[in-house]
Amino acid sequence: MLPSRLLPIPHCPTAPAPSPTPTPPGGARSPSSVTLRFGSPGGTGVRLRRRRGSAAVAMASDGRVERIASSIRAIPNFPKPGILFQDITTLLLDPQAFRDTTDLFVERYKDKSITVVAGVEARGFIFGPPIALAIGAKFVPIRKPKKLPGEVISEEYSLEYGTDKIEMHVGAVQPNDRVLIVDDLIATGGTLCAAAKLIERVGAKVVECACVIELPELKGRDKLGDLPVFVLVQADESV
């Protein structure tokens, strides 16, 4: 079943929630609608209707999280039939939602002694650098094969059909580093798991993985084992 809405995670910081914001220009134009719920975790939400082009449901009282969820659109049957693609490009078109996303991550990690933010290609390169700058950490790109010019260390991981691998420059991460791994989305968890193995192979500590979106029905957390994962919104297939 295709996930049809996004749920903020209840461990986000809280603040008074503003009125729901409209979907940014460029969202999907389906005339159908989905039910959205706003309110505090465990509390009573306010129900309303919103066009299906907004892949959003808010459950936390922090208005920033609702704005982030509302700015992400869902594209059906992309990149292949049966996939509902969570498109963060509409989030990037909304400067306030983009800032909110960065701010929520910075608030979480600014006091955790993070020395490296490792961004997973490609959308980890969007969210990782501003987080790294804000918390005073260095940014390390984790890339697809043959994209880095220097000596690399690589890690292979399984796909539905076949394998792929990711690479990191040798020496970019040191044994005493405390690393935050950043990507836009956790699905099956294969890429994040491979990234964590790269970091651990050089003797550094992975503090946490941070993603904007989680597709929980794909059970990516199971693949990561005990590695902590922090996400802002979850896709929900119950509607």
**Residues recognised as catalytic:** 123, 160
**Residues 210/227, Cβ–Cβ less than 8 Å:** no
Task: Name the CA dihedral angle for 45, 49, 53, 58, rounded to a multiple of 10 degrees.
Answer: -10
| Other residues' Cβ atoms within 10 Å of the Cβ of residue 174 | 13
In terms of Cα–Cα distance, which of 147, 163, 98 is closest to 155? 163
User: What does the alpha-carbon distance between residue 149 and residue 189 come to, in Å, rounded to a whole number?
Assistant: 27
What lies within 8 Å, CB to CB, of 92 at 6+ separation is: 98, 126
User: What does the alpha-carbon distance between residue 105 and residue 134 come to, in Å, rounded to a whole number?
Assistant: 10
Please give the C-alpha separations between residue 117 and each of 37, 68, 184, 219, in angstroms, as whole numbers: 33, 21, 14, 24
Quick one: tokens of 182?
A: 């950043």
